[in-house]
Structure formats: structure tokens, C-alpha cells
Amino acid sequence: MQISKRLQQLNPSATIAMTEKARELKAQGKDVISLSIGEPDFDTPDFIKQAANKAMEEGYNSYSPVPGYLDLREAICEKFKRDNDLTYSPNQIVVSTGAKHSIYNVFQTILNPGDEVIIPAPYWVSYVDMAQLAGGVSKIINTTIENDFKITPEQLEKAIGEKTKAFIFSSPCNPSGSVYTRQELEALAEVFAKHKEVIILSDEIYEHICYGQRPVSIASIESVYDQTVTINGLSKSFAMTGWRIGYLGAPEAIAKGVSKLQGQITSGTNCIAQRAAITACKANPKEIQFMVDAFSKRRDLVLKMVAEIPGFKCNEPKGAFYLFPDVSACLGKTYQGVEVKDSDDLAMYLLEKANVATVGGVSFGSPGCLRISYATSEDKLIEAFARIKAALS
Ligand code: PMP
Ligand code: GLU
């Protein structure tokens, strides 16, 4: 049985692949510490679970409207206004099965074969493959650790060409943790505003997980509001990864396209999760501050520990829950006759030798860096870093 050429060309998600590998090893009895997947280790807050229970009791069992319940879309509009200074109407909102699904839907909606999508590296692993599935071609802008893994307006201007249709980035960034300031976004917006044909996909899934200045939504800069799709979801902020709720705010034509696509593919997403999402969107962000405080403490801890590993060089993440050290000083060495060429090889080495699962940087567009998730307990982090240090020495 042959699978389609389209799928043969698709790479498996590196984050998911490493997480599954770690799970398998654990099932075999190995004491693996997984710092691979980006998933809060907290339970979903009780008040959200109660909202889901109530929805079940009230008999929410049927298909929902394809773009999501109207009162959920209204709650999302309120949330966008409250947290992001963004004005959307419910017909500009589509709720999907996770932010991953929202991004996929947008690419399917806007890309024609051969259209270029500009992606700053390092990028979240799924952007390139999702663009490719929609016929798009990725054009990567490389960044440096010295520039905190951010692009400059000059780089952006140079990358935009005749075929450019879209640009996608995350701030806070998975994997680098970098957060663009308002000033930096304004400088990029100035470039975009000269190229109104370029659609900006702003992935803001880590919005609430930040350790200083709150991230700014690029769509709140007036000159680019009408060319931006703002993507968000509940997975990270509310520890609801398995509930699968993502959403977007977009120009109406794009929202309509996404909804048409969804009507043929998934229909409206899970109705119980949608009802609970209303409660989450209306909640005061202070309700989740305890998780952000814990991530902040862990960030300080892992930053201290990573500085003690010879050969690892790290920026200071301002958001999300990942470290993305440059490990190139550890590459090019040989272990049991096998060369550790890139950080994917190093991740495999650390898994075998230290029983610590991380994710190599190749799929993030940075083969010299390694992604380490610190969304786990301090005890496990301390043990994992001690193991990594020992394995590398
Ligand atoms: N964007 C980024 C940058 C992510 O790290 C993730 C992973 N959770 C997603 C989007 C997708 O999130 P979800 O589908 O769980 O909403
Ligand atoms: N986004 C998370 C990560 O980067 C979850 C896994 C995934 O969907 O890729 O680890």
C-alpha cells in the first residue's frame, strides 16, 4: 500500500516523534525524563472543568455552528479587546481543533501552489510542513543568538519578493522564548504596510506565559490590522492541551474561507470544550498567574544550570517555556565511532546516554541549537541537567 506523494514528502512532527520515543522508553521501564514536549504539567483549572461538567449536564451534545458557538466567538472578541487591544466582530473569529489546526486552515485558505511563506528561523516545527501541504514554499530568514533570534526590518524587506504571500512567526517564540517589543513590531509593520499583499500570521499561543513585558499583538498596529491573522488558543495558558481549542481573528474573507474548509473537514470543534472555553476566555488572567510564576521560577533555575554546561550558550527567554541553547561547541565529536554532527544527533545521544529527552534543532531550522522544555517540576529539571552535564563531560 503506497501513501500519497504529498504525505511521503511530509516530515513527522519532531516534537511529537521525540515525545513518543520517550514514552516508549518509559513503558519499557527506562527512567527517562522528558523535556521534549511543550506542555504545561499543571492540571486544567477547576473552574474550567466545572464549566465543562455543566455543559454536559445541560445537554450540549449536538453539532455546533462550524466557526464555533456565537457566544464563544463573542467571548473571544472580548478577550482580544481586553488583552490585545484588538477589535474583531464574531464573523471574524473561527474556533478550531487547536491552534495547530487554525494555522493549517489559514494556509489552506490563502496559499496557491508556489506561493512563498516567509518564516524566521528558529521556527515552530510544524510551520514549514503545514505550508508545504498547502502548496506553499518556505523562505527562511535566519537569525542569530546575538540578536536574540529576532529578525530586522532590513532582513524582512529583503526577503519579500513577487511570490511572497504570507509571513508566520510566534512571539513569545517557540523555541527561542524571544518576545518582540512594540517598537520592534512597529518597525516590521512599516515594511509589511508597504506590501499589503503579504498576510501576517501572528501565532500568540504563549501570550500569557511571559516574564516581563506583556507581548504585543502585531494586529494592534493599525497599518497592518487588515492584513493580519491573529492565532491563539487555550492549550498553553490554561493547561488545556488535550481539550483542543484554538481560534483566530482575521479579515472576514479569510475567516469565511477557514469556516468553509472546516465545514467540509471537521465541522465545529468539540462542543463541551467550546462551552468550557467561554469560561476560560472570560476569566481574569490573574487566575493563571500561579502557573506563570512557577514557569518563571523554573526559567531562572534552568538558566543558571545551563550556564554551567560547558559548550552551551543560551539567550534569556522572555516567554514560553523553552531554552534553546546553541550547542555547536559540542558538535563534531565522536561517540562509540558515531559522529555527533548536529543537535538532532546530540538529542539522540542525550536520550541514550543520559535518559533525557530533548528535541534537536534541525526541525526548528537551527541545527546548532537544542530545545529543552522546562514545563516540568524543579526536581526533575535539576536531575535532568545533572545527567546532561555528566553525559557531556
Ligand atoms: N503554535 C506554537 C508556537 C506551538 O508551540 C504550538 C504547540 N502547542 C501550537 C501552535 C499548537 O497548539 P495547539 O494546537 O495545542 O493549540
Ligand atoms: N507545541 C508543543 C511543542 O512544541 C506541543 C507539540 C506539538 O504540537 O508540536 O512541543
Question: Cell numbers of 387, please?
Answer: 545527567
Coil vs helix vs strand at 272: helix
CA-angle at 122, arms to 121 and 126, nearest 5°: 95
Q: What is the DSSP string of 204-229?
A: -TTTT-BSSSPP--GGGSGGGGGGEE
pLDDT in tens, 163-197: 999 999 999 999 999 999 999 999 999 999 999 99
The Cα–Cα gap between 140 and 307 comes to 29
**Residue 99 CA, ligand 1 centroid: distance in Å:** 5
Q: Look up the pTM and report it.
A: 0.97
The Cα–Cα gap between 136 and 126 comes to 13
pLDDT the model gives residue 106? 98
Nearest atom, ligand 1, residue 124 CA = 3
pLDDT the model gives residue 236? 95
The Cα–Cα gap between 126 and 132 comes to 10
Q: What's the chain's average pLDDT?
A: 97
How many other C-beta atoms lie within 10 A of the C-beta of residue 200?
20
pLDDT in tens, 290-347: 999 999 999 999 999 999 999 999 999 999 999 999 999 999 999 888 899 999 999 9
Q: How many residues does the chain have?
A: 393
pLDDT above 70 as % of the chain: 100
The Cα–Cα gap between 166 and 103 comes to 12
Q: Ligand 2 within 6 A of 37 CB?
A: yes
Coil vs helix vs strand at 185: helix
The Cα–Cα gap between 51 and 115 comes to 42
**H/E run at residue 326:** none
Strand ranges (E), 144-203: 164-170, 199-203
Question: Cell numbers of 151, please?
Answer: 529578525
pLDDT the model gives residue 336? 86
pLDDT above 90 as % of the chain: 96
pLDDT band, residue 3 (cuts 50/70/90) = very high
pLDDT the model gives residue 335? 86
pLDDT in tens, 227-244: 999 999 999 999 999 999
Q: Is the pLDDT of residue 123 over 90?
A: yes
Q: How many helices (H) and strands (E) does the chain have?
A: 13, 14
Please tell me the number of the ligand nearest to residue 104's CA.
1
Residue 146 burial class via C-beta count within 10 angstroms: exposed 0-12, middle 13-18, buried 19 and up: exposed
Ligand 2 pocket mutation, candidates 37, 127, 322, criterion most atoms within 8 A of CB: 37
Q: Is the pLDDT of residue 213 over 90?
A: no
pLDDT in tens, 7-25: 999 999 999 999 999 999 9
pLDDT the model gives residue 211? 96
Question: Cell numbers of 305, please?
Answer: 544550570
Nearest atom, ligand 1, residue 320 CA = 5
pLDDT band, residue 219 (cuts 50/70/90) = very high
